[in-house]
Chain A
Amino acid sequence: MSEAKLQVDNLSIQFINDGRTTDAVRNVSFSLGREKLAIVGESGSGKSTVGRSLLRLHPASARISADTLRFGDLNLLDADEKTLRSIRGRRISMIMQDPKYSLNPVMTVGAQITEAYLAHHRVSQREARKQTLEMLEKVHIRDPERVYSLYPHEVSGGMGQRIMIAMMLIPNPEIIIADEPTSALDVSVQQQVLSVLDELVTQRNLGLIFISHDLNLVRNFCDRVLVMYAGRVVESIRAADLDQAQHPYTRGLLAALPSLTQRRERLPVLQRDPSWLTD
């Protein structure tokens, strides 16, 4: 963990709908170095909103405020649309949950990756194609030449997600935000995708923000975990230390998970404490 690539202090996000204000994110602070940081929470906890707001991809009804929202030496909070466009994809890229919806259905997989590369590099079409094939190989696709000319509906979910990873990594970004990248996949495929992601992130020394609802998945895959509840970070802990989590919410989540090895008559139900919302 060297210098921070991303520094976030007191990030708050509100949604304004029909004159009603809802706080989606409240005073979230963290910094990201060359590491794998997980943001974990249940639906409605604001974890995805945090991820999107870093790229300023939030809906128009959202109001963002923060003391610091710094990427390298750039202030993301004041950056204009043009600067942001040059950052999105090129320096920070995002992997979404379902490759089915994030890939363009009428373009071949290869053409899409090539386009992503060309958007940020001035090279010939042939060079871009060569880079694409190399990238496909890096995400462990066995026959890149064949996969290059496939359409998204012709590839399986696991391969689609690896293609997404290839597409997001080809411009060589510094930070990747992965929003539930494996929840739409089967367990066996999940592991493949995660190991590909892990390999590339480690190799290239990137910062990864891994947004997930699955504490168990995250505990092996990431270095550090932020646990969010109702828009707040209730606990920030090293993944290896999750067993010693302090906050009752984190502990409740861990206990509520049915497991293969520890069988219990009843699962302990999480008792939500209103004081979690205030302190």
Chain B
Amino acid sequence: MTTQISMAARTSSEPHTRYQALWLSLGTGARRLLHNPLTGAGLLVVLLLLLVALFAPWLATHDPLAQDLNRSLHAPNADNWFGTDEFGRDIFSRLVYGSRITLYIIALVTVIVGPIGLAVGTISGYFGGVVDMLFMRITDIFISFPSLVLALAFVAALGPGLEHAVIAIALTTWPPIARLARAETLQLRNADFIVAVQLQGASSARVILRHIVPMCLSSVIVRLTMNMAGIILTAAGLGFLGLGAQPPLPEWGAMISTGRSYMMECWWLVAAPGLAIMLVSLAFNLLGDGLRDLLDPRSE
């Protein structure tokens, strides 16, 4: 009942160019996103992670790879803020550089998974029939394995290493995205605005790319953000099992793995990277929740 009234208020500042229109809607979006303090906190941590990764050389107090056996297993102190590991490497500096690896994994997995999931989902939802059948059965096969087991199998086949871990994780994370995109597409397929462009003579590719994908994008972004926590954990898991990043790379999961043998006496070896993993995955979850409130029309 009040929507019309509030709409009138919103349009009082009229956009005069395309960019201004976009900017205005982004502005209201950002304001609503920060409305929830938890989302704000999540966003803050994620931004912090980005900054740390960007400025790692300036933030790190030591060389993350430099060994100093005289200073091995030191407890946190003024020089080594989070202590040192069994080779005398500074844990704080390793965490700082490790953030780059974490972001690298997240970014690469997202870049692979997003487009694949969207493409498979929208195409099978839009065309339906045999195409849908084929694509969805393939998706089912991937979903039917526990993701860590599937990832393990792939890494075992390809050999350990960071890039292989990324590929393995990507293989296990695209199917849910595809299903989500398909469900959205099925709903959209018969919407009047899609029928309208079809009747204007738009090709299937054009309808999918310009009209359906933008509508699926928001829920896919939300899902990807929520997935990032899972990606970090799987990466850490693979690192922990020695199948992800290889020594001496300061990957957080691998740090926990190697620190585990000294865990009883030197808690900081495990606690510092463990906390980092927890904090970052929590932050991505909170951010994803906030984005869902913002982007998902069903939650309004």
Contact = CB atoms under 8 A, between A and B. Distances in A.
In the complex they form, whether A and B have CB atoms below 8 Å apart is answered with yes
Interface of A: 15, 17-18, 20, 22-24, 43-49
Contacts of B141: none
A44 B9 contact: no
B11 to A, nearest CB: 14
B299 interface: no
B37 to A, nearest CB: 16
Contacts of B6: 17, 20, 22
A233 to B, nearest CB: 15
Interface in B15-41: 32, 35
B1 A24 contact: yes
A46 B1 CA distance: 6
A24 B2 contact: yes
A43 B9 contact: no
A132 to B, nearest CB: 34
A165 B106 CA distance: 57
Closest 3 CB pairs between A and B?
A44-B4, A22-B5, A15-B2
A250 B5 CA distance: 21
A43 B4 CA distance: 8
Nearest to A49: B1
18 contacts: A15-B2, A17-B2, A17-B6, A18-B32, A18-B35, A20-B6, A22-B5, A22-B6, A22-B9, A24-B1, A24-B2, A24-B5, A43-B1, A43-B4, A45-B1, A46-B1, A49-B1, A49-B2
Nearest to B7: A44
Contacts of B5: 22-24, 44
Interface of B: 1-6, 9, 32, 35
B250 to A, nearest CB: 44
Contact of B3 (A18, A44, A47): A44
B9 A20 contact: yes
A48 B1 contact: yes
A40 to B, nearest CB: 14
B294 to A, nearest CB: 13
B13 to A, nearest CB: 14
Contacts of A15: 2
B4 to A, nearest CB: 4
Contacts of B32: 18
A268 to B, nearest CB: 22
A85 to B, nearest CB: 24
B185 to A, nearest CB: 25
Q: Identify the interface centre among B1, B5, B6: most chain A CB within 10 Å of its CB.
A: B1
Nearest to A24: B2
A209 to B, nearest CB: 16
Given A18-B32, A22-B6, 9 more contacts: A18-B35, A22-B5, A22-B9, A43-B1, A43-B4, A44-B1, A44-B4, A45-B1, A48-B1
A53 to B, nearest CB: 11
Nearest to B4: A44
Contacts of B2: 15, 17, 22, 24, 44, 49
A185 to B, nearest CB: 22
Contacts of A46: 1
Contacts of B1: 24, 43-49
Contacts of B4: 43-44
A54 B23 CA distance: 42
Contacts of A49: 1-2
A255 B4 CA distance: 24
A48 B3 CA distance: 13
A46 B3 CA distance: 11
Contacts of A24: 1-2, 5
A23 B4 CA distance: 12
Contacts of A22: 2, 5-6, 9
Nearest to B10: A20
A24 B5 CA distance: 8
A44 B9 CA distance: 14
A15 B5 CA distance: 11
A17 B5 CA distance: 12
Contacts of A18: 32, 35
A20 B2 CA distance: 12
Contacts of A23: 5
Nearest to B6: A22
Q: Identify the interface centre among A15, A44, A46, A49: most chain B CB within 10 Å of its CB.
A: A44
